[in-house]
Amino acid sequence: MIFLKVYIDNFFMFSDTTLDLTFSKRLPNSPIEDEFLDNVNGLNFKKVCIFSGANASGKTALSKMMCNINNYIKGSDLAHEKVNIADTFYDSDKTAKFTVDFVTPNDRMFHSLSVEFDSEGILKEKYNCFKMRTQESYSSLINRLKNNESAHRKKVFNYNRKAKKENFGIVEPGFSSVAHSKGVFNIRMQWYYSFCENDQKSILGAGAYRSDLDIRLMNTILKSFDISIIEINRITESKNKSNFIVKFSNGDEAFIIDDDVENKNRFSRGTIEALELVAFIQRVIEAKSGTYFLDEKMAYSHSEIEQAILTLIISQLGRYSQFFYTTHNYDILDLNLPSHSFAFLKKEKFTTIIHPEKLGYTKNDRGLLSYVKDDVFSTLPDVDKIYEWLQ
C-alpha cells in the first residue's frame, strides 16, 4: 500500500492535522525514482518523507500513529497490552478520529478509510474502495469519492455503533476493524517501524536482529560508525546464527548473544543504534514494496554518517516502497532531495505539519536549510529561557 493522505484528530498532540503525501508536479531528473503509479497518469506520491522538528514536536507520536493505522488495516486490536490507542487520546472526553487515503498498486485500487473512536471503542467506521482510471489525480479521486459515483465503486462499508441499521449487531466492536472482521477488506502489505523510545531496553528490543543478517552489510555499517571495529563474524560454534563476535583494533572483543550485547559499554550509543539499522536496511533491500519508518535512530551519529545512511536506504527502496524518517538534525536538509521530500513539525498547543512545497518553497530559488535557519516556518526551538538564565 502507498499512503496518500493521513488525517489525525485528538490523538497524541494532533488536532485536525493533515499529512499530505501527494504532490502535483513531477520534477525532471529527480534523484528519487518512480514517485508515480504505473498506468495511472497524474497521481504522484512521496516515496520519501523526512520529518524535521525540534525535540518534543511530535515526530515519534506521528510514527506511532501511522503504525497504528497499518496495524488497524491489518485487523489488529489497537487495545492490547503494548498499545492501547485509547490512552493516546488528547482529550478523553471527546471522540478521536483518523482518516487515511491510500492505493494498492498491484490492483490499481484507491482506498479511503475513516474511523472515529470513543473511550469504549469504534464509534463509526467508513470504508470506500474503487478502481482508478488511467488519467487520475488525487483531487479527481476525492471528487469521485465525494460525488458518490457508485458505478465506479467496488466496495462501500458503513458502520455506526449507535445505529441499529448500521451496526451489524456489533455493539461492542472494541478497537479492531469491523470492516476487516466482516471480510470487506483484506489488504496485503508489509511494514516495518523502528521507534525512538525512552526505555533503554528498547534499543535492543524485539526485531532488532535477524538470524539471517548479512555479515557484509553488518561490517559495512558498524565499521562506519566505529572505526576501531576491525571485524564482525558469526560465532560458528553456536547453533544460534544471530550470535556474533565483534573484534576491535586494540584486541578487545564484544559478543552479541541471543539478541543482546553482553558488554554494551564497549560500544558508543550511536554504534548500539547502528545494530538496529542493519536489520532495518536489510529489510528495505530485500523487499519489493513496503512502508518503512525510521524514528530518530541516528540521533547520536555524525551528520555525514546520517546523510550517507539515508542515501543508502533511499537508493535501495523498492518500486512501491515508502520511507519515512524523523530527525532534529537540520544538516539533513542539505541532501539532494526534492523539497516535497521534507516536512516540518512544530508544536504550540498542538502539533502542526508544514509541507514546504505546498507553500511555494522549493530548492530552485533558495535552500530549505536557509529557510529553516531564518525560522521561516517557526520550527526552531525556543531557547530564550536558557539565555535569560545567563543574564
Which pLDDT value is given to residue 90?
A: 95
Q: Looking at the structure, tell me whether residues 245 and 279 fall in a common domain.
A: yes
Spatial CB neighbours of 113, under 8 Å, sequence gap ≥ 6: 73, 99, 100, 101, 102, 125, 126, 127, 179
Domain boundary among 267, 286, 305: 286
Spatial CB neighbours of 82, under 8 Å, sequence gap ≥ 6: none
> Residue 323 domain-assigned?
yes
CB-CB neighbours of 233 under 10 Å: 12
Section 39-55 average pLDDT: 92
Q: Are 92 and 119 in contact (CB under 8 A)?
A: yes
Q: Looking at the structure, tell me whether residues 269 and 313 fall in a common domain.
A: no
Domain count, the chain: 2
Residue 338: half-sphere exposure toward Cβ, Cα within 13 Å? 25
Q: Looking at the structure, tell me whether residues 36 and 61 fall in a common domain.
A: yes
Residue 14 DSSP code: B
Which pLDDT value is given to residue 198?
A: 45
Q: Looking at the structure, tell me whether residues 112 and 127 fall in a common domain.
A: yes
Q: Looking at the structure, tell me whether residues 143 and 238 fall in a common domain.
A: no
Domain boundary among 286, 309, 329: 286
Which pLDDT tens digit goes with each residue over 255-306?
887 767 787 788 888 888 888 888 899 999 988 889 999 998 887 788 899 9
Q: Looking at the structure, tell me whether residues 63 and 139 fall in a common domain.
A: yes
Q: By three-state DSSP, how is residue 117 classified? A: strand
CA distance 238 to 368: 50
Q: Are 3 and 113 in contact (CB under 8 A)?
A: no
Q: Looking at the structure, tell me whether residues 72 and 113 fall in a common domain.
A: yes
Q: What Å distances lie between residue 250 and 221, 256, 266, 377, CA to CA?
A: 20, 19, 12, 48
CATH assignment at residue 49: 3.40.50.300
Burial class (CB in 10 A: 0-12, 13-18, 19+), 244: buried
Sign of torsion over alpha carbons 285, 286, 289, 293: negative
CA distance 140 to 256: 53
Q: Are 20 and 358 in contact (CB under 8 A)?
A: yes
CA distance 117 to 98: 9
- Binned at pLDDT 50, 70 and 90, residue 116 comes out as very high
Query: Residue 208: is its pLDDT beyond 50?
Result: no
Give the H or E element holding residue 271.
Answer: helix 269-286
Which pLDDT value is given to residue 366?
A: 55
Residue 333 DSSP code: G
> Residue 14 domain-assigned?
yes
Domain boundary among 253, 286, 319: 286
Q: Looking at the structure, tell me whether residues 160 and 295 fall in a common domain.
A: yes
Residue 219 structural domain: 200-286
Backbone angles phi and psi of 345, in degrees to 5: -110, 135
Q: Give me the torsion for CA of 174, 146, 14, 358, rounded to 10°.
A: 150
Section 193-205 average pLDDT: 55
Q: Looking at the structure, tell me whether residues 169 and 301 fall in a common domain.
A: yes
- 215-225 vs 303-315: helix axis angle to the nearest 10? 160
Q: Looking at the structure, tell me whether residues 319 and 278 fall in a common domain.
A: no
All 3 cell numbers of residue 296?
A: 530518530
The CA-CA-CA angle for residues 353, 359, 364, to 5°, reads 115
**Whether this model's pTM surpasses 0.75:** yes
All 3 cell numbers of residue 353?
A: 505539519
Q: Looking at the structure, tell me whether residues 273 and 298 fall in a common domain.
A: no
Amino acid at 15: S
CA distance 134 to 39: 6
Which pLDDT value is given to residue 207?
A: 41
CA distance 337 to 91: 38
Query: Residue 78: is its pLDDT beyond 60?
Result: yes
Beta strand 253-257 pairing with 260-261: antiparallel
> Residue 195 domain-assigned?
no
> Residue 145 domain-assigned?
yes
Q: Looking at the structure, tell me whether residues 126 and 2 fall in a common domain.
A: yes
Residue (of 113, 118, 119, 79) closest to 98 by Cα position: 113
Which pLDDT tens digit goes with each residue over 230-239?
999 988 876 6
Higher pLDDT, 290 or 55: 290
